[in-house]
Structure 1
Amino acid sequence: MSPLLIYVQGNEFDKELLDIAFNNLNPNEDVIHLIYVIEMDRTLPIDSEIPPLTAKGENTLKNLEFLAKRLKFNVEGHLVQSRDIGSAIIQESFEKNINTIIIELQKNEINDYYPLNKMAEYLLINSKCQVILVKPRSA
């Protein structure tokens, strides 16, 4: 399963995704990559600094890296700005030679179910590795 890439969003479910990695990898051996993507509006230059979004991403990665390192896991956080989250995840997976991508399935609040969203479909079509879609335990 290693190296593994987890797409994190700065929500309470990030730790559940990390737990999946902890339960399937070996401390001090396997590598966990965390990616936080700031999706940039097309009206802005791609390298524009948006301090509140950058701070949220950095704090999210810092907290999750701390948790993983406490449990002796090799972890690397990546803060990325992109026009499209799915393509940023695919690009990172190619660059890091990732074997498995883990993402959260988003709930459709209107109909109360978990459809494949645009990003999940994009990852399933374009990734060269295993993709694990996870429904929150609390759902």
Structure 2
Amino acid sequence: MIFFRLLYSWPYNFFKKLNIFLDKKQTKFQSILIALSGNSNDYKSVQIAKNLIEKKSGTLTFVHVLEIDLKTPLDAEINEQTIHGDKILSSTLKKYNIEGYNYKSVLLQARDAGPAIISEASNQSAEAIIISKNKNHEQNIFNLSKTTKYILSNSECNVLFIQT
């Protein structure tokens, strides 16, 4: 299920933005930021990003955020988390066949992932952010994390939310 964050005057803008995805020519983005979690749902995010990016001139930015608690200084090096974050980024690049695409991988440390992702999207001039989440199949409940809520509420660019 994909949700699109749309402008407030929803009927006209909804169909205008939805047309991007339904148009046979299919408009391509120049810059997409993909927030990676290290879960199996990253695969779908990467596949959608590869379909939406302009292959020759577009840039995919893969971001993983290490959330640092308040007791730890933000600039402190946390070896275990850093190694785990690097593994997520490097395995994504290897697993999902990114060759032939322009890409960057960014590992961030922040108190909260939401503002860090929004800030990085702004720094990279991203036209879209792709975030994903696993559905809780046991309880069949749809819950958004605080990170997802923050991104959907505060992003200045398009946001694609994927639930797997």
What TM-score, normalized by structure 2, do the two folds share?
A: 0.75
Taking the aligned partners of 1:26 and 1:92, their CA distance within structure 2 comes to 20
Question: 1:99 and 1:109 mapped to 2: Cα distance?
Answer: 31
* Structure 1 residue 50 displacement after superposition: 1.6
**Aligned 8 A contact 1:2 1:100 in 2:** no
Worse overlay, 124-133 or 113-122? 113-122
Shift in Å at residue 109 of structure 1?
A: 6.3
Q: The residue matched to 2:98 in structure 1 has which SS?
A: helix
| Corresponding position of 2:117 | 89
Question: Which whole-Å CA distance do the structure 2 matches of 1:87 and 1:110 have between them?
Answer: 30
Aligned to 1:115: 143
1:69 to 90, 93, 98: 98
Post-superposition offset of 1:107: 3.2
**Given the superposition, is the C-alpha separation of residues 63 and 28 from structure 1 closer, same or farther in structure 2, using an over 3 Å criterion?**
farther
Deviations 1:67-123 (A, max 9, x none): 4432x1111000000000000001101111111000013434663222232222211
The answer to which of 21-30 and 60-69 deviates more is: 60-69
CA pair 68-28 structure 1, distance change in 2 beyond 3 A = farther
Asked if the contact 2:67–2:112 (Cα under 8 Å) also holds between the matched residues in 1, the reply is: yes
Q: Percent identity?
A: 30
Question: Partner residue of 1:34?
Answer: 62
Distance 1:59 1:115 in 2: 27
Range with greater deviation from structure 2 (35-44 or 10-19)? 10-19
Counterpart secondary structure, 1:33: strand
* RMSD value, Cα: 1.7
Q: Which runs of 5+ in 1 are unaligned?
A: none
Aligned length: 135
TM-score scaled by length of structure 1: 0.88
Secondary structure, counterpart of 2:75 in structure 1 = coil
Which ranges in structure 2 are unaligned for 5 or more consecutive residues? 1-28
Structure 1, 11-20 or 74-83: larger mean CA deviation? 11-20
Instruction: Provide runs of 4+ in structure 1 moved above 6 Å.
Output: none
Contact 2:31 2:53 in 1 (8 A): no
Q: What displacement does 1:24 show?
A: 1.8
Instruction: Answer yes or no: is 1:127 the counterpart of 2:155.
Output: yes
Write the distance in 2 (CA, Å) between the matches of 1:106 and 1:10.
11
Work out which of the two has the higher radius of gyration on C-alpha atoms and give 1 or 2.
2
